[in-house]
Amino acid sequence: MLVALIDKLEISDGAIEAAKAKLEQNGHSLVVFNSRTTNEGELVSRAENAEAVIFANIPFRESVISRLPKLKMISVAFTGTDLVDVAYCHAHGITVCNASGYSTVPVAELALGMAISALRDFVLSDAATRLSEGRDGRVGQDLRGKTVGIIGTGAIGCYTAQIFKAMGCEVLGFSRTERPDFPGVYAPLDEVLHGSDIVSIHLPLTPVTRGLIGAMELATMKPDAILINTARGPIVDQEALAAALHAGHLAHAAIDVFDIEPPLAQDHPMLGAPRTSLTPHIAYATKQAFERRVEIVVENVVMFANNDPVNVV
């Protein structure tokens, strides 16, 4: 097969050469476009002769896929596939695979770091120190003993729960599918929100989860709770979240994902909200994760060609 890498995966030239070598060893060829574009015409141009395409965080909709008659397989270098028109692919016999597992560790670690940062007020303490101020009565809180609610208990949610459990936290969980290895107690969503000191979201974005956490759900949370979102921005109503923070409800919101991909416009509601720590969608982005995901997406192609597909969405 001709395989097209049509997106910048932020990996070294050596990693690209290793990917190319593995594909060639299995009888395939790889063409590389090591830059990011969302222009549909350019995407079609890059993929027009390919039977398999590899990309990460770019929209790949019916308007593009329908113009690629040779396409048989899409290997997405992300866990989530909400940017791909999966239903259209299923209807037209195109296999979609993701990079399941590549970002489990860094996402969970960032969620933990965000929780500790919020409890110890790293952001404001850093700013105060740079203004030559002292402690001035600043008192943080222990993480140990807190109740942490995990919304979504797939691989990332379960690993995040394990980390918080190891830090001495009680863990509650809400998920459509309950897993026997989840190290906590499952409960309905409203009970998890109401009973948790820290709520960490780890759901995929689907029609069901879009807007799952809105004004009513935020009002259910403790007034001194912390909300962490390292999953997908539209799961949380960001206008409602900003309003809750402005109203003094919630101690802190640590947000890595938004309703649009950063950079954010200056009038975005989260930029003006108090008691926040915001990061520009970096939870998955570590050197080790990027190395893992290129290995996974290339293996996806090889296994598909061998009629034994893995990580199928």
Identified catalytic residue from 268, 281, 291, 295: 281
pLDDT of amino acid 114: 98
Cα–Cα–Cα angle for 17, 20, 23, rounded to 5 degrees = 150
Regarding whether 296 and 226 lie in a shared domain, the answer is no
pLDDT tens, position by position, 23-65:
999 999 999 998 899 999 999 999 999 999 999 989 999 999 9
Regarding whether 9 and 91 lie in a shared domain, the answer is yes
pLDDT of amino acid 65: 98
**How many domains is the chain built from?**
2
Regarding whether 214 and 81 lie in a shared domain, the answer is no
Q: Which helix (H) or strand (E) covers residue 253, if one does?
A: strand 252-255
pLDDT of amino acid 12: 87
Regarding whether 145 and 85 lie in a shared domain, the answer is no
Regarding whether 217 and 189 lie in a shared domain, the answer is yes
In a domain, 150, yes or no: yes
- Token output for 207: 């029609």
**Separation of first and last alpha carbons in the chain:** 21
In a domain, 311, yes or no: no
d(CA 297, CA 53): 10
In a domain, 30, yes or no: yes
Cα–Cα–Cα angle for 30, 105, 120, rounded to 5 degrees = 135
In a domain, 263, yes or no: yes
Helix, coil or strand: residue 144: coil
Q: Is 299 a catalytic residue?
A: no
Identified catalytic residue from 232, 252, 292, 293: 232
Could you say which residues of the chain have pLDDT below 70? none
CA distances from 202 to 96, 118, 304 (A): 21, 18, 28
pLDDT of amino acid 57: 87
Regarding whether 233 and 121 lie in a shared domain, the answer is yes
Regarding whether 186 and 290 lie in a shared domain, the answer is no
In a domain, 242, yes or no: yes
Q: Is 92 a catalytic residue?
A: no
Regarding whether 174 and 45 lie in a shared domain, the answer is no
d(CA 146, CA 86): 39
CA distances from 197 to 145, 222, 224, 276 (A): 10, 7, 7, 16
The residue range of the domain holding 56 is 2-102+286-305
- Token output for 179: 């897993």
CA distances from 9 to 15, 113, 178, 208, 262 (A): 10, 25, 33, 29, 17
pLDDT of amino acid 8: 83
Regarding whether 52 and 171 lie in a shared domain, the answer is no
| CATH number for position 87 | 3.40.50.720
Q: What length does the chain have?
A: 313
pLDDT of amino acid 10: 86
In a domain, 180, yes or no: yes
Regarding whether 144 and 98 lie in a shared domain, the answer is no
Regarding whether 253 and 140 lie in a shared domain, the answer is yes
Regarding whether 118 and 93 lie in a shared domain, the answer is no
pLDDT of amino acid 34: 83
CB 73 within 8 A of CB 97: yes
Q: Is 232 a catalytic residue?
A: yes
